[in-house]
């Protein structure tokens, strides 16, 4: 089976994290979460971590050059060549999408699919309020969702224009959603 190269998109509270774990189990690919990579750098106290921490605290975006460098290095490793990759949290800007396309192209590769886990704003808001985390005030939730919309709507168009966007209905039990996600992956490689 040829290694898959996939992107997963979804609002906070869409179940994207759960679906990413299941997908990487099912298809055996490397899970590359740029949020996890940055959190690891913060925990390790590296120079990158120190720079990223301040930005992450205020919910901003770490610079494209830094993010593109992290992803480029990770994609160059043998495990990705052998097993494929699921990119989670990247690309987040058009510049990152262009950089991803360029780096894959250099290796003679392209993306197979961009999975968009679609859960309406009202539903993710209710889910986040339900889990009752202290940073989940209605105001904070709405701000994060607005930012996501601003940053990610153009990316949906970017993937759509390349015939890569697969929007999956993310409302329902995690098992049901996973079946839909797997079907979308299978269609992309058919």
Name the site residues for ligand AMP (rule: CB under 6 A): 34-35, 38, 55-56, 59-62, 67, 89-90, 92, 96
Catalytic-labelled residue, pool 22, 39, 74, 127: 127
* Residue of this chain nearest to ligand AMP (CB atom): 35
Q: In angstroms, what is the minimal distance from the CB of 1 to ligand AMP?
A: 28
User: Rounded to the nearest 5°, which phi and psi values hold at 169?
Assistant: -65, 115
The CA-atom distances, in angstroms, between 98 and each of 84, 95, 155 are 19, 5, 10
The partner residues of 114 in beta bridges, in order of sequence, read 7, 165
Q: Is 131 a catalytic residue?
A: no
72 in active site: no
d(CA 21, CA 163): 25
Distance in Å, CB of 96 to ligand AMP, minimum: 6
Given the residues 5, 11, 92, 180, select the one marked as catalytic.
92
Per the residue annotation, which of 5, 11, 16, 180 is the catalytic one?
16
Q: Shortest approach of ligand AMP to residue 190 CB, angstroms?
A: 29
Helix (H) or strand (E) holding 4: strand 4-10
Nearer to ligand AMP, 56 or 171 (CB): 56
* 16 tagged catalytic: yes
| Sequence-separated (6 or more) residues with CB below 8 Å from residue 160 | none
Helix (H, G, I), strand (E, B) or coil at 63: coil
Kindly give the residue spans of alpha helices, DSSP state H, lying in the chain: 16-27, 34-44, 47-57, 64-75, 78-83, 94-106, 121-131, 138-161, 174-189
| Residue 131 or 190 having the CB closest to ligand AMP | 131
Task: Name the active-site residue from 133, 143, 187, 189.
Answer: 133
- Residue 133 known to be catalytic: yes
- At its nearest, how many Å lie between ligand AMP and the CB of residue 189? 25
Which residues are known catalytic residues?
16, 92, 127, 133, 144
């Amino acid at each position: 089976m040829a290694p898959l190269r996939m992107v997963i998109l979804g609002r906070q509270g869409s179940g994207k994290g759960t679906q990413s774990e299941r997908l990487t189990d099912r298809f055996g690919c490397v899970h590359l979460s740029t949020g996890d990579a940055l959190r690891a750098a913060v925990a390790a106290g590296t120079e990158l971590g120190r720079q990223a921490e301040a930005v992450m605290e205020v919910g901003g975006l770490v610079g494209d050059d830094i993010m593109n460098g992290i992803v480029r290095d990770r994609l160059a490793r043998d495990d990705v060549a052998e097993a494929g990759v699921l990119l989670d949290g990247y690309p987040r800007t058009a510049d990152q999408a262009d950089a991803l396309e360029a780096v894959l192209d250099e290796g003679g590769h392209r993306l197979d699919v961009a999975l968009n886990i679609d859960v309406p704003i009202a539903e993710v808001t209710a889910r986040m309020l339900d889990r009752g985390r202290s940073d989940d005030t209605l105001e904070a939730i709405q701000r994060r969702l607005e930012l996501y919309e601003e940053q990610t709507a153009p990316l949906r168009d970017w993937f759509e224009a390349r015939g890569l966007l697969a929007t999956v209905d993310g409302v329902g039990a995690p098992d049901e959603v996973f079946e839909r996600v797997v079907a979308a992956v299978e269609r992309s490689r058919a």
